[in-house]
Amino acid sequence: MDEIHLAFERMNQAEDGMLKYSEFSETMMPQDQHYARLLGTKKLQFMSRAGSCPFENSTLIKYLHIWEMIIQNEKAADSIRQRISKKDNFDIREAFAQLDMNQDQTITLSEVRNKIDNPLVFVISCGSSCSRWTATLAATTCKCS
Protein backbone atom coordinates (compact mmCIF):
# COMPACT_ATOMS: atom_id res chain seq x y z
CA MET A 1 0.00 0.00 0.00
CA ASP A 2 1.51 3.35 -0.96
CA GLU A 3 1.96 6.17 1.55
CA ILE A 4 -0.72 8.46 0.13
CA HIS A 5 -3.28 5.65 0.15
CA LEU A 6 -2.35 4.82 3.75
CA ALA A 7 -2.86 8.43 4.92
CA PHE A 8 -6.07 8.77 2.89
CA GLU A 9 -7.55 5.63 4.43
CA ARG A 10 -6.73 6.87 7.95
CA MET A 11 -8.61 10.13 7.24
CA ASN A 12 -11.50 8.42 5.42
CA GLN A 13 -13.51 7.54 8.53
CA ALA A 14 -16.61 6.55 6.55
CA GLU A 15 -14.46 4.02 4.64
CA ASP A 16 -16.22 4.95 1.40
CA GLY A 17 -13.14 5.91 -0.61
CA MET A 18 -14.07 9.61 -0.57
CA LEU A 19 -13.04 12.34 1.86
CA LYS A 20 -15.90 14.49 2.99
CA TYR A 21 -15.22 18.08 4.01
CA SER A 22 -15.73 17.09 7.66
CA GLU A 23 -13.08 14.35 7.42
CA PHE A 24 -10.68 16.65 5.56
CA SER A 25 -11.15 19.57 7.95
CA GLU A 26 -10.73 17.34 11.01
CA THR A 27 -7.28 16.46 9.71
CA MET A 28 -6.32 19.97 8.64
CA MET A 29 -7.74 22.03 11.50
CA PRO A 30 -5.33 23.05 14.28
CA GLN A 31 -5.90 21.30 17.60
CA ASP A 32 -5.82 24.61 19.48
CA GLN A 33 -9.43 25.80 19.53
CA HIS A 34 -8.45 29.46 19.15
CA TYR A 35 -6.65 28.79 15.85
CA ALA A 36 -9.31 26.33 14.70
CA ARG A 37 -11.97 29.05 15.15
CA LEU A 38 -9.82 31.56 13.28
CA LEU A 39 -9.43 29.20 10.37
CA GLY A 40 -13.07 28.07 10.45
CA THR A 41 -14.49 31.61 10.36
CA LYS A 42 -11.93 33.11 8.00
CA LYS A 43 -13.30 34.85 4.91
CA LEU A 44 -11.45 34.52 1.62
CA GLN A 45 -9.41 37.69 1.01
CA PHE A 46 -9.13 37.33 -2.76
CA MET A 47 -10.53 35.26 -5.57
CA SER A 48 -8.16 33.40 -7.83
CA ARG A 49 -8.79 33.04 -11.53
CA ALA A 50 -10.45 29.82 -12.65
CA GLY A 51 -7.85 27.10 -13.06
CA SER A 52 -5.19 28.89 -11.04
CA CYS A 53 -3.87 27.98 -7.61
CA PRO A 54 -5.93 29.60 -4.83
CA PHE A 55 -2.87 29.98 -2.56
CA GLU A 56 0.11 32.29 -2.47
CA ASN A 57 3.34 30.40 -3.13
CA SER A 58 4.42 30.43 0.54
CA THR A 59 0.98 29.17 1.64
CA LEU A 60 1.04 26.42 -0.99
CA ILE A 61 4.44 25.25 0.25
CA LYS A 62 3.14 25.08 3.85
CA TYR A 63 -0.05 23.30 2.74
CA LEU A 64 1.97 20.69 0.85
CA HIS A 65 4.27 20.36 3.87
CA ILE A 66 1.25 19.48 6.04
CA TRP A 67 0.34 16.72 3.58
CA GLU A 68 3.93 15.50 3.50
CA MET A 69 4.02 15.30 7.29
CA ILE A 70 0.65 13.51 7.49
CA ILE A 71 1.86 10.94 4.97
CA GLN A 72 5.27 10.45 6.64
CA ASN A 73 3.77 10.11 10.12
CA GLU A 74 1.14 7.63 9.00
CA LYS A 75 3.77 5.58 7.15
CA ALA A 76 6.03 5.49 10.22
CA ALA A 77 3.15 4.63 12.57
CA ASP A 78 1.89 1.88 10.26
CA SER A 79 5.38 0.41 10.01
CA ILE A 80 5.51 0.18 13.81
CA ARG A 81 1.98 -1.30 13.90
CA GLN A 82 3.04 -3.97 11.39
CA ARG A 83 6.19 -4.87 13.32
CA ILE A 84 4.39 -5.02 16.67
CA SER A 85 1.61 -7.18 15.22
CA LYS A 86 4.23 -9.84 14.42
CA LYS A 87 5.36 -10.02 18.05
CA ASP A 88 4.10 -13.16 19.78
CA ASN A 89 3.84 -11.38 23.12
CA PHE A 90 1.72 -8.43 21.92
CA ASP A 91 -2.04 -8.56 22.33
CA ILE A 92 -4.19 -5.58 21.34
CA ARG A 93 -6.71 -6.28 24.11
CA GLU A 94 -3.95 -6.25 26.71
CA ALA A 95 -2.56 -3.02 25.23
CA PHE A 96 -6.00 -1.45 25.67
CA ALA A 97 -6.34 -2.82 29.21
CA GLN A 98 -3.00 -1.32 30.18
CA LEU A 99 -4.40 2.14 29.44
CA ASP A 100 -7.91 1.50 30.82
CA MET A 101 -6.86 2.09 34.42
CA ASN A 102 -10.36 2.07 35.93
CA GLN A 103 -11.42 -0.92 33.77
CA ASP A 104 -14.56 0.77 32.42
CA GLN A 105 -13.86 -0.35 28.83
CA THR A 106 -12.98 3.21 27.75
CA ILE A 107 -9.73 5.15 27.69
CA THR A 108 -9.72 8.79 28.68
CA LEU A 109 -7.12 11.41 27.86
CA SER A 110 -6.06 11.48 31.51
CA GLU A 111 -5.50 7.69 31.50
CA VAL A 112 -3.29 7.95 28.42
CA ARG A 113 -1.46 10.94 29.87
CA ASN A 114 -0.95 9.12 33.18
CA LYS A 115 0.66 6.13 31.46
CA ILE A 116 2.70 8.07 28.92
CA ASP A 117 3.73 11.28 30.71
CA ASN A 118 4.66 9.69 34.04
CA PRO A 119 7.48 7.20 34.17
CA LEU A 120 6.34 4.73 31.54
CA VAL A 121 5.26 1.73 33.59
CA PHE A 122 3.22 -1.14 32.24
CA VAL A 123 2.42 -4.43 33.98
CA ILE A 124 3.25 -7.35 31.70
CA SER A 125 3.44 -11.10 32.03
CA CYS A 126 6.86 -12.65 31.68
CA GLY A 127 5.42 -15.95 30.46
CA SER A 128 7.06 -18.15 33.10
CA SER A 129 6.10 -18.73 36.74
CA CYS A 130 6.28 -14.99 37.32
CA SER A 131 3.09 -13.16 36.46
CA ARG A 132 3.95 -9.49 36.94
CA TRP A 133 6.79 -7.51 35.47
CA THR A 134 7.20 -3.77 35.27
CA ALA A 135 8.52 -2.35 32.04
CA THR A 136 9.90 1.16 31.92
CA LEU A 137 11.82 2.98 29.22
CA ALA A 138 15.02 2.15 31.08
CA ALA A 139 14.54 -1.46 32.16
CA THR A 140 12.24 -4.42 32.71
CA THR A 141 12.22 -5.92 36.21
CA CYS A 142 10.32 -8.78 37.79
CA LYS A 143 7.99 -7.71 40.62
CA CYS A 144 7.18 -11.24 41.81
CA SER A 145 10.24 -11.84 43.94
Total number of residues shown for the chain:
145
- Contact between residue 133 and residue 124 where contact means Cβ atoms under 8 Å apart: yes
**Per-residue pLDDT for the chain (145 aa), expressed as one digit of tens each?**
688 998 899 899 999 999 999 999 888 899 899 998 988 887 766 666 666 777 788 888 999 999 999 999 999 999 999 999 999 888 899 889 888 889 999 999 998 888 888 755 555 555 554 444 455 554 555 455 4
Task: Give the chain's end-to-end CA distance (angstroms, integer).
Answer: 47
- Contact between residue 12 and residue 19 where contact means Cβ atoms under 8 Å apart: yes
Quickly list DSSP for 6-61.
HHHHHH-TT-SSS--HHHHHHHHS-SSHHHHHHHHHPPPS--PPTTS-SS-HHHHH
Strand partners, 133: 124, 142
Q: Residue 31 and residue 118: Cα distance in Å, rounded?
A: 23
pTM: 0.64
- E strand or H helix that includes residue 69: helix 57-85
